Amino acid sequence: MSTQTETIRRVTVPQIRARKGGEPIVSLTAYHAHTAAIAEKYCDFLLVGDSLGMVMHGMESTVGVPLELMIMHGKAVVRGTKRALVVVDMPFGSYEESPSQAFRNAALIMKETQCQAVKLEGGARMAETVRFLTERGIPVMAHIGLTPQSTNIMGGFKTQGREEDSWYFHIEDAKAVAEAGAFAVVVEGVVEPLADKITQAIDVPTIGIGASKSCDGQILVMEDMLGLNDWVPKFVKKFGAVGAAIEEAIAEYAEDVRSRAFPTPENVYSVNKK
C-alpha cells in the first residue's frame, strides 16, 4: 500500500503578521544549514542576522559586514530549512542611500538566497524605503530602538528609552514603519514600559530582544542563548552550556591523541581477508 508524503510548507509573511496579539512568535538567529535545521523545528522564523559578523567572523561590530557575506550565510540557512520563514538582514551601506539602492540589493538577496523577507534598521527615516520595497513585492521586517549599525553615532550598544521624554520618538518610529508596510518590527534594547507602549501602538507584531515579554514574539542570537560565549548581554538567558561542552570534548580528544588512546581499532580500516 502506498503512503502519501505530507508536504511541508514554509511559514509565510501573512501568517507571521496575523500573529499580532496571539500566540507568541518564536525566533532565533541562524547562520549555518545544520543549526538552522534544528532550530526550525521550534521557531516560526529564523533571522540571518548581520550579527554573524561578530559571532562568526570576530568583527567588533556589524558595520563591516558585506552584502556577499549575508548572501552566503542566507543560502546556507535556506538550504537547511523547509518550514521556517527565513529573513535576511540588509547590511550597513546596502540600503540607506536611496529606496532604489535598497530595492536593488534586497532583490539580489532574495534572488540569490531564496529567502522570504529582508530586515533593515531604522524608524521614520526609513519609512519611505520600507514602502518602496513592499510596494514592489519585497516583504520587510523593520528594526527600531537600539540599532547596532548605528552604534558609532550612539556611542556604543546603549539601552534606549531610559529618559521618558524620548519615548515619543521611538513610538513614532514604530508607527512609521508599520504604516509603511513592515509586516513585523524588531524592538531591541529598550526599557520594558516603552516596549509595552510600542507593542500597543502598532497593528503588526513586535519581536522583542532586550525589550518586554509582552512583545508579540522574541528573538535571541542563537550562540548567546546556547551558552557558546562567556559574556552575553543582560537580556540573554543562557538555555545551554554549549561552550563548556565543546571545550570539554576538545580537551578529551587532545588527551586521547597525546596518550595514543585514539584512534582505537573501531576507528581505523582493516585489510580485507582472502
Residue in 255, 223, 257, 254 with CA at minimum distance from that of residue 240: 223
- Distance CA(168)–CA(161), nearest Å, equals 9
Q: Which of 40, 188, 255, 266 is an active site residue?
A: 188
Known binding residues for 3-methyl-2-oxobutanoate:
50-51, 89, 119
Q: Contact 252/267 with Cβ under 8 angstroms?
A: no
Does the active-site annotation cover 252?
no
Q: Where are the alpha helices (DSSP H) in the chain?
A: 13-17, 33-39, 52-55, 67-79, 99-113, 127-135, 151-154, 167-180, 192-201, 222-225, 242-258
Q: Contact 28/39 with Cβ under 8 angstroms?
A: yes
Residue in 207, 226, 227, 236 with CA at minimum distance from that of residue 142: 207
Known binding residues:
50-51, 89, 119, 121
- Distance CA(234)–CA(153), nearest Å, equals 22
- Distance CA(75)–CA(88), nearest Å, equals 10
- Distance CA(128)–CA(133), nearest Å, equals 9
* Cell numbers that stand for 237 in this block: 538567558
Indicate the SS3 state at residue 56.
Answer: coil
Q: Contact 85/12 with Cβ under 8 angstroms?
A: yes
What number of CA atoms fall less than 13 Å from residue 183's CA on the CB side? 23
- Distance CA(206)–CA(196), nearest Å, equals 10
* Cell numbers that stand for 27 in this block: 525566533
Any idea which residues carry the catalytic annotation?
188
